[in-house]
Amino acid sequence: MSCQEVCEFLDAYVDKELDVFTSSQFDRHLTECAACRAKYDQYQQMHDSVRVHMEYFPASEEFVQKLRAQLHQSGRRPAENIRRSWFPQWRVWAMAASVVAVLLLTAVLLRMVRRPSSSDVLAEEVVSSHIRSLLANHLSDVVSSDQHTVKPWFSGKLDFAPLVKDLSSKGFPLAGGRLDYLDDRPVAALVYKRRQHTINLFLWPSSASNSRPRTLTIRGYNVVHWTHSHMAYWAVSDVNAGDLGEFAHDLED
């Protein structure tokens, strides 16, 4: 584990949210790197101290009694109706309709505003999904190196059939797959290995035309994105950009 990854995982380590393997790698780095150990000690101390001194505001006894009384009253006649009975019903519906209209308009506007940088946001989302998958129990829902096991696992879970390629002869053995959620839709995530590294390949249908693989680096991870036959592909890993480019190339073949 690198010093940069220690920074990245610092909070998850403090919160004991790392899986056993990553956590032990973190431990090992701390024993070997004095700088990170000092940083961690300071962070943990700060964290504990803040947590101990943060106030907790329980509900007052009178307030809980008030809620209880309301509940028992509504048991006989719903409190909501008592409050609403003076309010003409048609008005309620009219208000509801206008609220829906405003919400729809807002949704449309938000989409328009967000569109320009949506691809950058998506790239960040993809990296977040990759990091998340490295956390406990999140890498694979189906664990198999066999494409004929992984591919059928997705059927019925997605509205498309992901292409699952066996790349073990190229040095990228398949490790499994899982469902993920990106770009506001469920997507297929295929897990490949390169030596001890993990590659997440996310794919889902796209209306965009074919595009050649494009490499980015985000938060220390390499990301390759391309579109092929109306499918968007995103590969993310901590392997070097050359290996990941090779991976994309082998998949496209």
Partner 1 sequence: MSEEIWNKRAGREVRKIDHELFERTVLPYINSAHNLARWLTRNEHDAEDMVQEAFLRALRSFDTFTAGRDARAWFLTIVRNSCRTWHRQYRSHETSMEWDMDAQPAVTAWSDPEAVLIKNANSQLIRRAMEQLPFEYREILILRELEELSYKEIAQIVEVPLGTVMSRLSRARKELYIRLGQPTGEMGV
> Which range touches Zn ion (CB under 5 A), out of 1-9, 72-80, 162-170, 239-247?
1-9
The CA-CA-CA angle for residues 181, 124, 193, to 5°, reads 70
158 near Zn ion, judged by CB under 5 A? no
Return residues touching partner 1 (CB under 8 A): 4, 7-8, 10-12, 15, 17, 39, 42-43, 45-47, 49-59, 63-64, 66-68, 70-72, 74-75, 78-81, 85, 89, 114, 117, 120-121, 124-125, 127-132, 135, 138, 181, 219
Does position 3 bind Zn ion by CB under 5 A?
yes
Are the C-beta atoms of 196 and 183 separated by less than 8 Å? no
DSSP labels, 82-93? HHHTTS-HHHHH
Residue 233 near residue 215 (C-beta atoms within 8 A) = no
Closest to 130 measured CA to CA, from 182, 205, 195: 182
81 binds, among partner 1, Zn ion, none (CB under 5 to 8 A by kind): partner 1
Task: Give which of Zn ion, partner 1, none residue 33 binds (C-beta under 5 to 8 Å, depending on kind).
Answer: Zn ion
Of 81 and 207, CB closest to partner 1? 81
Based on CB atoms, which residue is closest to partner 1, 70 or 211? 70
Q: How far apart are CA 194 and CA 238, in angstroms?
A: 10
Task: Return the number of the residue (75 or 156) whose C-beta is nearest partner 1.
Answer: 75
Site string for Zn ion, 36-75 (x = CB under 5 A): x---------------------------------------
Q: Give the C-alpha separation, 190 to 180, whole Å.
A: 10
Residues whose CB is less than 8 angstroms from the CB of residue 209 and which lie 6 or more positions away in sequence, other chains included: 227
Residue reference for tokens 């797959």: 177
